[in-house]
Amino acid sequence: MTESDRAMAESFPNTVVGALAGERPAAVRAFGTAAGLFAVALVLQALAASGTVPGAATPLVAAVLAVATVAGPALSAVAAHRRGGLAGSLSLAAAPVAGRIAYFSLFTPNAVVALPGSFEGSGAAAFWTPVVLALGTVGFGVGTAARWVLDR
């Protein structure tokens, strides 16, 4: 084995770990943002479903929930651009969806079968898991490609 082959073999595990975990400050920022998105989605879903929100504010809460759900994959691309890693990108994409599903899983365990795209009901997590993984992976790819293009 030549010197360059040995160096390549030793750096491959570091490259894989770097792609998955990212750089520490960016990864910590991504996971912190994901925790915040999870909490916002969980609290807003609880407010919307409990009926404590006045009638005029219900569409506003629904709009903020929709924006938070869409913001997760968008923020995953930003995290990948900032070297947050694949794990950080996936956590950002999953956090708002997991917050909404967590509410219904915890507080309405005997719900009806979920419709595709719904957060409420039995089977919602089974529908959203591959969707979130795909969106997080695409967001990671977009952010990484943007970093690669912009760093040239």
pTM, two decimals, is 0.79
pLDDT at residue 16, rounded to an integer? 54
pLDDT at residue 18, rounded to an integer? 58
pLDDT at residue 75, rounded to an integer? 93
pLDDT at residue 2, rounded to an integer? 58
Three-class DSSP category at 15: helix
Name the nearest CA neighbour of 1 among 89, 9, 25.
Answer: 9
pLDDT at residue 53, rounded to an integer? 78
pLDDT at residue 58, rounded to an integer? 82
Lookup: tokens for 11: 């750096």
Could you give phi then psi for residue 117, rounded to 5 degrees? 90, -5
pLDDT at residue 3, rounded to an integer? 57
Are 29 and 87 in contact by the 8 Å Cβ rule? The answer is no
User: What are the average pLDDT values for consecutive 10-residue runs of the chain, which has 152 residues?
Assistant: 54 58 80 93 87 81 89 92 89 92 80 75 83 92 92 85
